[in-house]
Structure 1
Amino acid sequence: MKLSDERVELARRHNKVVYKDGDRIVKSFVRTKPAVDVFREALNLARIEQAEGLSTPKVLEVSQVEGGSWALAYEYFPGRTLHDLMKEAEGTPKFDELLQTFVDLQVKVQNTKAPAALTSQCDKIVRMIGRVKDLDPSARYDLQMRADRLRNARSICHGDFNPTNVVVGDDGSLFVCDWTHVTVGLADADAAMTYMLFTLEFPAAADKYLDLYSKAADIAKQKISYWLPVVAAAELSRGRKDNEEFLNNWINVASDYE
């Protein structure tokens, strides 16, 4: 894959750089990123394309760029992220409108019929928790057993549903991107992950998100809170030290609603 000289850097993360390059978005990963992970992300995108009624990116190319690292290209959707719009609207009624739009879209995604062959949310979370060797083994086992209850759920779970991954077009249309972590599983646990992300990015709005989501999805807040230690433990496996204390605090909270 060759990137043009007119490419514009949109974001830089710990393991990738994201560019807008003409009518495509290109994720260029670090050289240590395994090819199997890049192809798995492309496969997730190809699978979610089959979900009827969702606006999602189409895979254009997976190949190596100069230097030997892998890159993934998918179609560009013009607009602004919901994150940027919400930042501008903080403290105004418009923020609440945007938050409601976000919640309604998440519920729509979760209620869409899941395409075949999506990864199991249960298997993925159990595997991720198993990699967190700093956890007390008894606590790790308890969290894995709790996660095993996700096994038979069939909702589309984005896995990283936050306002940076929703693009609002000029006509108001909504486009959901970054399906790297999509699974089929339980909506409650997916909402717990989003609540955790809100607590990090928009802490003043996190509880408001939880209230709105609970009503829109008709799911008790206690059911969502039940999964917070589980998703926090899974997130620990990513090894991002800046959030480690925050995540450990959530794991240690007694939130057993059985």
Structure 2
Amino acid sequence: MAKLGSCIGTGSSCEVYEWGDEADVAVDKVVKLYHSHASQDEVDREFRNCLAAWENGLPAARPFKQILWEGRHGIVFEKVVGPTLVQRLFERLHAFDLFSDDSSDELIQFARTLHAIHQAGEIGGIVTEQKSHLKEIIARPVGLSDEEIAALHAYIDGLPAKRQVCHGDTNVTNLILSDRGPIMIDWMHAAIGNPAMDAAEFCVTILYAVLPPEMPSEVHAFFNASRQTIYRTFIDEYTRLTGVTEATIEPWHAVAAARQLTSGAVGEEQAAAMAAMIREKLRLTVV
């Protein structure tokens, strides 16, 4: 008999609970229960993407099955234990220690994890086309007009296309630093396309992040002074591994920023800075 346990995580689209299954007690499990606005197609896509990633040896949690629990769609996963990258970064910020050997290694692990995903090429089961999907989800980013969104869609069409598997949501909450190695979660937006978008997502997060106001002013100052070093630690390792240049990734920053604006999880100050950057990219493209 299945049993719903304690809530251990929340996100914009779901809550994650401990999950007991008497039919299989050999593996610790969790269940990701989606909010009511999540469609069956979205849940099906995430299950299919996660299964494809796991079966092909990518750093993903194993999905076991889909369920319906009290009217909510869900996916049962193996339990992955460990802090997320954002939790570890916040710990480092409060300790004023981002660049000891141990802490910088976490940024390098993230670069290596993305490289491991991207070098898989195309894999069966992940079939979403990146550019079409991006244009679909970038419907009305905060602070952009209809004309600017149309221009952004045209900008996406003009970016270089590739045929490699991409995670599609590489924010710092989606990497778990587990004892058995880094694991990427939340594969709903995985697609076949240009991996520069995955790298750009992390770059934009670091370059434009605004820390919560309740954090001490000294932590804000330390982060702002360290921002470029965090960025360089990641980007230098990723470009070294992949042979992709920083100049190849940079045009995708506008797309990554628009995707983050669409999520509604970005504060006003950060949203204004991102919108200004997007407008500048579009202006330069037109010129």
Q: TM-score range by the shorter chain?
A: 0.7 to 0.9
Q: 33, 40, 43: which one pairs with 1:38?
A: 43
Q: Does 1:229 align with 2:254?
A: yes
Identity %: 23
Q: Which has the larger displacement, 119-128 or 157-166?
A: 157-166
Using structure 2 for the length normalisation, give the TM-score. 0.75
Q: Match of 1:3, SS?
A: strand
Alpha-carbon contact 1:2-1:65 (below 8 Å) kept: no
Deviation, 1:222, is: 2.1
**Corresponding residue number in structure 1 for 2:24:** none
Q: Which has the larger displacement, 80-89 or 176-185?
A: 80-89
**Corresponding residue number in structure 1 for 2:108:** 100
Cα distance in 2, alignment partners of residues 138 and 223 from structure 1: 26
Deviation, 1:10, is: 2.1
Deviation, 1:98, is: 1.6
**Corresponding residue number in structure 1 for 2:16:** 18
Cα distance in 1, alignment partners of residues 88 and 234 from structure 2: 16
**Corresponding residue number in structure 1 for 2:60:** 56
Deviation, 1:119, is: 0.6
Q: Which has the larger displacement, 233-242 or 16-25?
A: 233-242
Aligned-residue CA RMSD in angstroms?
2.9
Structure 1 segments unaligned to the other structure (5+ residues)? none
Amino acid at match of 1:91: L
Q: Which has the larger displacement, 88-97 or 127-136?
A: 127-136
Label 1:214 to 1:245 Cα distance change in 2 as closer, same or farther (>3 A): same
Label 1:150 to 1:25 Cα distance change in 2 as closer, same or farther (>3 A): farther
Amino acid at match of 2:192: V
Label 1:152 to 1:220 Cα distance change in 2 as closer, same or farther (>3 A): closer
Label 1:206 to 1:253 Cα distance change in 2 as closer, same or farther (>3 A): farther
**Corresponding residue number in structure 2 for 1:183:** 191
Structure 2 segments unaligned to the other structure (5+ residues)? 21-27, 212-222
Q: Match of 2:115, SS?
A: helix
Q: Match of 1:161, SS?
A: coil
1:83-162 equivalences under 5 Å are 83-89=86-92, 90-93=97-100, 94-116=102-124, 117-132=126-141, 135-149=144-158, 152-162=161-171
Deviation, 1:150, is: 5.0
Amino acid at match of 2:271: E
Q: How many residues align?
A: 253
Alpha-carbon contact 2:201-2:253 (below 8 Å) kept: yes
Deviation, 1:178, is: 1.7
Q: 214, 228, 249: which one pairs with 2:239?
A: 214
Deviation, 1:85, is: 3.7
Alpha-carbon contact 2:197-2:249 (below 8 Å) kept: yes
